[in-house]
Structure formats: C-alpha cells, structure tokens
Amino acid sequence: MSAAVAALVALGFGVIAVRRRSHATVLVALQGLILGVTAISREGGESGAMAVAGAILIIRAAAIPLLLLLARRRTPERTLVAPTTSVATRLLVATAVVLVAVAATPPLGIADRVAEHGAVALVCLGIATVVVRRPALLQLLGILVAENGVYLLAIAVSGGVPAAIELGVLFDLVLVVTVAGAFAGKIHERVGSGDTDLLRGLRD
Amino acid sequence: MTEAILIALPAVPVATAGLVLLAPSGRVADRIALGGANVTAAVATTLVVLALTAAPGVEVTGDWLQLDVASGVFLALAAAVGLVGAIVSPAYLRHAGRGWFGERRSHVYYYAAFNLFWAALLTLPLVANLALAWLLIEGTTAASALLVSFSGKRSALEAGWKYLVLTTLGLGVALLGIVVLYAAVGGGGPGALGWDALAAAAPSLRRQTTLYAFVLVVVGLAAKIGWAPVHNWLPDAHSEAPAPISALLSAALLPIVLLIAWRTELALAPALGQTAIREVFLGFGLLSLAVSVPFLWRPLPWKRLLAYSSLEHMGILALGIGIGTPLAIAGVVVHLAGHAIAKSLGFFTAIPLLRQDPWAARRAARGVARFSSSTAGAMAVSLASLAALPPSPLFVSEVMVLLAGIDAGLLGVSASAAVLLALGFLGLSHALLEGLFGGRGKRGTGPSPRSARAVAGLSAFAVVALLALTAAAFALPGSDLVRGLTGGAA
C-alpha cells in the first residue's frame, strides 16, 4: 500500500507541474489504474466486490480520461496557456500545503495511517491544482485528483465502503465530468480559449 | 400507500423531464412542464400534510426515505418555490434569446434540467441516509450548473463554472468526512449511515474522530449552503442564473442542504456534545452575517443584492440551529418560510425589471417607481420583508433567534448578531429607497410587460402569505411542529 500511496501522491504533484492537458490527463488515468489495482488486490477474491472494483477501475482509468481527451480535442489551443506561476513555485506551494495538512491531520480511525496521509495529501493537491492552474480542463483534473484521494481512503477502510455508495459516487463523478467537459467546450467557443482567467468579469 | 407517494414524488418531475424532451416546440414544452409541475406540487402537498399532521411523531421511517416534520417543512419550501418557478418560467424564456442550447430547443433543455434539479430538491428532505443525501446533492450540481449558465453569456459561463468547481470540491471534502464517519461506526453496509443508525451508534463513537468527520462533512456542505468563507460562487450564480432558477437556488437548495447538515448534527450530537456543535454553526453564522453586511450597503445590481441577502439569511439560520433551543428552532422555521416567500418574489421581480430596465442587470436599479408601480411594489414587498421591517415574519424570527441566544447564555453572540442585523437592515432599506425613488434611472412609464402584471399578483399573494406567517409565528413556540423538530422538547 505504501508504494501505491507514494506513486499516487507523486502523480498528483505531476498534475500541478506539467504544462500540457494531455499529459496531466494521462497522470490522472495512471492514478485511476493504481487505485483500481489496489482495490482489486484488497477484495480478497470475493466475486461481487471484485466485479465492482473492476468496473470502477475501467471507469476511473479509461472512461473518464477518454471523456477528458475528447474534450481536449474539441478545445484545441493555438498556444499553451501560460501558467501565472513557475513550476518551482507551484511545486513549492503544493508541498507546503500538503506537509501542513498532513501534519495537522489527527488519526482518522482508519488502520492504515499511510493511506490517511495519502488521502489528505491528494485532496489538498486537487484543491491546489484548481487554485493555481488556469485552463478549465486542468481545474477539472484537480477535482479528479481530490476525488482520487477520497477513493484511496474508501479503499483503506476495513471491509471497504459499500458498493452501492462507491457506484453512486462514480455515477455522480461521470455526470460532473460530462457537464464540466461541456462547460470547457462552451467556454472555449465563447472566449477562444479554455483559460478561465479570461472569465474574470464578475466582481463586486 | 404513503411509501408509494414517496416514490411518486421524484418520479413525476423525472417523467416530466423525459416528456418535455419529446416536445416539438417551446410552447408545447411550456404546457407539459406546467402540467407536470402541478402534479408534482399536488403529490408534494399530500406528503407535507401527512408529515405535519403526524407531528411531533414520524409518518414513515425506512432505510432510505423517511417522512417526518422536518421533511414536511422543507418539502413545502421546495414544492412551493418550484411550482411558482415553473409558472413564471415561460415569462423568462419568452425573451431569453438563443442561450446555451440555441433558440429552437432552449425551452426543452431548460425544462428538462429544471425538472431533474427539482426532483433532487424534492427528494432530499425525505432522505434518511447521509450517503444518499450526498449523492443527491452532488446530482443537483450537474443539473443546476447548466441552468446557471443557461443564457450562454460569458458572465453566466463564469458563474456556472465557478459554481460547478467550488461546490464539487466542497462536496469532495464532505465525502471524505462521510468515509471517516463510516469507518468510525465500524462499517456494516450503507444502512450504517442512516440518521437513526448514526444516532444509535453515536454514544459509543470516539469523540475526536467523530468531531473530525463532522467538521469535514459540515465544512464541505457549507460550500453548497453558501456560508462564508466558502460562499464565492453564490453571488455570481444567483445573479447570472435565470430568475426562476435563482429562486430555487436561494429559497430551496441552500436551506435543504442546510437541513442535511442539521440532520447530521442531530444524529451525531450524543458523540460531539452541544459545545462543539454550537461552535461550528455559530462560527459559520456570525461569519456569514459579517461578510454579507458590507455588500448590502453597496449599490449592487438587483439580483446580486438578493444573493448577498441570501448569505445573510443563511447566517441567521446557522445561528438558530447552533443555538438549538425550541425557541430558536421556532425562529428557524419562520425564517425559512418567510425567506422563501420574500426571496422568490424578489427574484421573480427581476423578470419584468430587466425587461423594463435592461441596465439593471449590471448596475443598481434606480427610480423604478417612476416607470413601473407594479415592479416597484414587488421590490418593496420583497426587500422590506428581507430587511426584517415589521410586520415581516423575518423580524419575528430574528427576534426569536436572538432571544433564544440570550436565554441560552450566548449574550455575546446575540449582541454581535443584533448589531450586524441592524446594519443589514439599514443597508437594505437604503438600497430599497434608492431603487424605488433614487438616482437618474430610466424615466417614463412605457409599455408594461405581461410579467409586470403577473408580479403584481404574486406580490399581493406574498403580502397575504407573509402576514399570515407573522401571525402563525406567535403560535409556533411550544407547538407539535417544533416538538417534532427538536426531538420532543418545545
């Protein structure tokens, strides 16, 4: 589990660092793959639970990234949206946020403390991605990183979270990704770019 | 029988959404949506009557759905605001233009999303399980984000995107709390997250873990309720959404998500203790009041002013729930109903106002009384009630909450809230006077749109309903309804 958590967090940092939306999408797909394999390996051979974990793996690691890649194809950028901060600054801020959050998190009552820290780190990385990245699709990927953190904690719960809840959450996630993809397309059509900084007109 | 009606409640608007997609024209879509809304409201009214007549008891308790007094109160809100929203929607759509979905199919997609959103809102008060509630709240986000951006304007896209991203992130945090809570109760299937199961398990839960889970759930839901400091999406979404959707967001969605936070608090209270719960709710309440009041003093566009007023009123509701005594809960009930009536009327008034003075979408309305007495009258009823000018029921409810705070030994909280409410009252009163008589706004009466006449009728209805609510408010403390909401205490 520790290696999987380390890989998930490293991929989360990658989403904050990389410039291309396609690269970030692949990193999130890899997170889905690691989570799916971890979930299957913890099910212990019970066929119903294995089927649910398998379905979740396919949706998280393949279907959702495919939806995102389609959205990216519909919203081609002539030039990459320039980040407002350098890679080093983004990584430094994200590292500081993650370290503070992990240090401040009390035991959550889940036997696997590494998974608890990993989940909190991923949720923080997801929020940080939304805050520091400007393209709409990268902000959506930030949401997915945060959701992956929650799923990591759900996998680590002894006996797992009920399949009905996991599938319900997944359905909602696909719904949100679909709607967010439509938004990304509409924003691109309206302002000629997926850069959400161009949408800053509402102020008091 | 009641179980069948419970299932019919979301089924009718979902079926209406499906039927409306088959409509060959916008006019047919209007009629299907109106018919569906009437049937939905009739089903909801039946359930409201069943719930309130069973007070202080519970009509139905199941694994996933229940019908109790709180269900009745919040269902009444969602049904009434949704029905009137469906009635006034054609007036909005008539002049909405191309929008996101193109002129030809805009009515169809609007009503489909409207009904799906409404179905989720109607179901949420009946939900007996925290996980199911979370799923439905997340479901409202997808449908309502599209509705917020329905006009397809750049500003509407910004508002819809911000709403989608911030509330989804917030709900992610709430889900983290739900997973922690599920682990704390020791698993046992989805039923372990039912309100009754959580309440039964609470006395034996570890306080620290339960508190952490509770804070995560409430902070996550706060992003959807629109409590400060996680309210950034609220003014944008309320001001950019079509007026009937703004009414649903403000008068139904925010309070209903608040109900879920409240039910979580009631279930976990034995594990957390009254002090911790109070600190969380009173903190959000006072902060929301403090953040909203300066904006009520600024010359804001009409719908944006109403949005900041929502922030203020969600703050008052948080204070009432945080204080938690029977008198405070009586105040919360009156406040919920009064806010729903006055705020819906305010948003519906935006339809004729923006037709008569399109500039009012981007700047504060000025001198409306000079060109439309009916629109000015509706603005006056709405804003005077929201400002809590006596005999508004919101005045009575605010006094109830403040007195309950003093009675509970929270003198500092009550005093701070009273000062902020007084400042909010002055700000809204100033905005109302400027809006009706001030500045160099549009002059001349001009043609009065049909929606202005309709709003005049709605204003008369709202005045009667608000006065009736003020009278009823005095009978509420000690009633079976409050006893049902406070678990027996009155």
Bridge partner residues of B376 (DSSP): none
Residue A49 with chain B: CB contacts under 8 Å: none
- pLDDT at residue B150 is higher than 70: yes
Q: Which of A164, A175, A202 sits opposite B158 (nearest CB)?
A: A202
- pLDDT at residue B418 is higher than 60: yes
Q: Which of B141, B190, B239 sits opposite A165 (nearest CB)?
A: B190
Nearest residue on chain A to B134, alpha-carbon basis: A169
- pLDDT at residue B446 is higher than 70: no
Q: Which of B100, B182, B304 sits opposite A186 (nearest CB)?
A: B100
Distance CA A149, CA A125 (A): 9
Q: Which of A139, A160, A168 sits opposite B135 (nearest CB)?
A: A168
For the segment B77-90, the average pLDDT, to the nearest whole number, is: 97
Given phi > 0 = left and psi -120 to 50 = alpha, else beta, which region is B206?
Answer: beta
Tell me, what's the pLDDT at A50? Answer: 86
Tell me, what's the pLDDT at A203? Answer: 76
Interface touch A150/B295, C-beta < 8 Å: no
Tokens read off for A44 = 């212990």
Burial A175-199 (b: 16+ CB within 10 A, else e): ebbebbbbbbbbbbebbebbbbebb
For the segment B348-370, the average pLDDT, to the nearest whole number, is: 91
Alpha helices in chain A (DSSP H): 2-17, 21-43, 47-58, 64-74, 87-104, 113-132, 136-156, 163-191
| Number of neighbours of residue B380 by Cβ within 10 angstroms | 19
Tokens read off for A138 = 């990268």
For residues B203 and B270, is the Cβ–Cβ distance under 8 A? yes
Each residue's pLDDT tens digit, B203-240:
999 999 999 999 999 999 999 999 999 999 999 999 99
Interface touch A123/B172, C-beta < 8 Å: yes
Q: Does B212 touch chain A (CB under 8 A)?
A: yes
Distance CA B380, CA B467 (A): 15
For chain B, percent of residues with pLDDT exceeding 90? 85
Tokens read off for B166 = 């911030």
Q: Does B204 touch chain A (CB under 8 A)?
A: no
Distance CA B312, CA B420 (A): 9
Residue A147 with chain B: CB contacts under 8 Å: 172, 175
Residue B151 with chain A: CB contacts under 8 Å: none
Is A168 inside a domain boundary? yes
Q: Which of B149, B187, B240 sits opposite A159 (nearest CB)?
A: B187
pLDDT band at A126 (very low <50, low <70, confident <90, very high): very high
Interface touch B158/A153, C-beta < 8 Å: no
Q: Does B98 touch chain A (CB under 8 A)?
A: no
pLDDT band at B443 (very low <50, low <70, confident <90, very high): low
Tell me, what's the pLDDT at A198? Answer: 85
The total domain count for chain A is 1
- pLDDT at residue B489 is higher than 70: no
Question: Closest Cα of chain B to A9: distance in Å?
Answer: 17
| Number of neighbours of residue B367 by Cβ within 10 angstroms | 18
Tell me, what's the pLDDT at B477? Answer: 92
Q: Does B146 touch chain A (CB under 8 A)?
A: yes
Q: Which of residues 158-177 of B touch A (CB under 8 A)?
A: 158-161, 164-165, 168-169, 172-173, 175-176
Each residue's pLDDT tens digit, B299-322:
999 999 999 999 999 999 999 999
pLDDT band at A12 (very low <50, low <70, confident <90, very high): very high
Distance CA B482, CA B332 (A): 10
For the segment B386-396, the average pLDDT, to the nearest whole number, is: 97
| Strand boundaries in B286-399, DSSP class E | none
Q: Does B140 touch chain A (CB under 8 A)?
A: no
Interface touch B176/A119, C-beta < 8 Å: yes
Tell me, what's the pLDDT at A118? Answer: 97
Q: Which of A107, A140, A202 sits opposite B236 (nearest CB)?
A: A202
Is A62 inside a domain boundary? yes
Q: Which of B131, B146, B172 sits opposite A146 (nearest CB)?
A: B172
Q: Does B182 touch chain A (CB under 8 A)?
A: yes
pLDDT band at B488 (very low <50, low <70, confident <90, very high): low
| Number of neighbours of residue B91 by Cβ within 10 angstroms | 21
Boundaries of domain holding A32: 2-75+87-193
Size of interface A-B (CB pairs under 8 A): 131
Residue B154 with chain A: CB contacts under 8 Å: 190-191, 199, 201
Is A36 inside a domain boundary? yes
Average pLDDT, chain A: 91
Nearest residue on chain B to A112, alpha-carbon basis: B183
Give this complex's ipTM: 0.95
For residues A36 and A150, is the Cβ–Cβ distance under 8 A? no
Burial A2-32 (b: 16+ CB within 10 A, else e): eebbebbbebbbbbbbbeebeebbbbbbbbb
Backbone φ and ψ for B65, nearest 5 degrees, come out as -125, 150
Question: DSSP characters for B446-468?
Answer: -PPPHHHHHHHHHHHHHHHHHHH
Interface touch A150/B157, C-beta < 8 Å: no
pLDDT band at A201 (very low <50, low <70, confident <90, very high): confident
- A130 or A85, which is more confident? A130
Bridge partner residues of B61 (DSSP): B66
Nearest residue on chain A to B301, alpha-carbon basis: A204
B22 burial via Cβ count (<10 Å: 0-12, 13-18, 19+): exposed
Tell me, what's the pLDDT at A154? Answer: 95
- pLDDT at residue B288 is higher than 70: yes
Tokens read off for B401 = 């909450």
Q: Which of A107-121, A180-194, B27-41, B271-285 holds the top average pLDDT?
A: B27-41
Residue B157 with chain A: CB contacts under 8 Å: 183, 186-187, 190, 199
Q: Which of B142, B172, B304 sits opposite A150 (nearest CB)?
A: B172
Is A81 inside a domain boundary? no
Tell me, what's the pLDDT at A27? Answer: 97
Is A173 inside a domain boundary? yes
Residue A110 with chain B: CB contacts under 8 Å: 180, 183
For the segment B413-423, the average pLDDT, to the nearest whole number, is: 98
Question: Closest Cα of chain A to B168: distance in Å?
Answer: 7
Is A204 inside a domain boundary? no
For the segment A23-50, the average pLDDT, to the nearest whole number, is: 89
Comparing B160-169, B254-263, B271-280, B467-476, the range with the smallest average pLDDT is: B271-280
